[in-house]
Amino acid sequence: MTVRERAGIAAATRIVVKVGSSSISGDNADQITPLVDALAAAHGRGAEIVLVSSGAIATGMPYLQLDERPTDLATQQAAASVGQNLLIFRYQDSLRRYKIIAGQVLLTAGDLDNPAPRSNAQRAMERLLGLRILPIVNENDTVATHEIRFGDNDRLAALVATLIKADVLVLLSDVDALYTKPPHLPGAERIARVGLGEKLDGVEFTGSGRSGVGTGGASTKVSAARLAADAGTGVLVTATGLVAKALAGGAVGTWFEPAAQHAEHPEHLVHPLP
């Protein structure tokens, strides 16, 4: 189905939700519980849910006695190796309350850039969803290199949404919506809706938005949202704390209007945006 408005999320049959590192790690690790509550509610009404979750490196950092995100690739890979295991355990431990089983899917950009592994990934995801498993997707940080990384998990989520032709993509962060300028600045106004192909002239977005444990920011969310919307998936950008309202079709966040139909061959979208 094509979801044209945010209210239609409540009836969507295939939903991808992306959550960032800062929302579910460190002091916010307990936010996994309400996030799972919201996902389980949508799963319980029959929707197919895919969670794209950052947080492997951030989760592993304390166990490597690191106070901040490492900058060298080898240490990032080590932290991800430790953290991914713990992150999936935390999700599964919470999902167990609803008798929902999670499946781990780790991808690199190369997996979606080449026809054979892309087809394999698509087949695996379709089978997991058909079995009512909740796939939890992350970049394979343990083996990915700087040259082949997606860049951020907003982009990964958009690519996963196009791969499985999701009805809706929900991008979560610590901000309730997109604003005309950083929301802490005077005069910042919430952007409720972005039409297909609409230019955001005069809008000031910060760059990476690095939180100390993750990457991404308003600009990466806009790029990812446009990517998915152009391929036929409606996109909602909102705060992690509003995920239950978002999945119920509530009037929250910023809605990106999708193209009228799903792209038949979205593989070209893997390459970096200009």
Q: 223 a known binding residue?
A: no
Q: Is 67 annotated as a binding-site member? A: no
* Dihedral (CA of 211, 180, 170, 52) sign: negative
Which tens digits make up the pLDDT trace of 161-191? 999 999 999 999 889 999 998 888 898 999 9
pLDDT of residue 149: 61
Kindly tell me the burial class for residue 2, based on how many C-beta atoms sit within 10 Å of its own C-beta (0-12, 13-18, 19 or more). Answer: middle
What integer pLDDT is reported at residue 271 of this predicted model? Answer: 43
- pLDDT for 2 equals 75
Q: List the strands of the sheet with 134-139, edge to edge.
A: 102-107, 134-139, 48-53, 14-19, 168-173, 234-239, 254-256, 193-194
Residue numbers of the chain with a pLDDT score lower than 50: 147-148, 207-215, 267-274
Q: Tell me whether strands 193-194 and 190-191 are parallel, antiparallel or unpaired.
A: unpaired
The answer to the question of whether 153 is labelled as a binding residue is yes
pTM summary value: 0.90
For residue 140, the model assigns a pLDDT of 86
So what's the pLDDT on residue 264?
A: 63
Question: Of 216, 220, 207, 235, whose CA–CA distance to 21 is shortest?
Answer: 216
- pLDDT given for residue 30 in this prediction: 93
Residues 6+ apart with CB under 8 A from 191: 177, 178, 179, 180, 200, 203, 254
Domains and CATH numbers, the chain: 6-267 (3.40.1160.10)
Annotation-wise, does 174 bind a ligand?
Answer: yes
Cβ 187 vs Cβ 197: under 8 Å: no
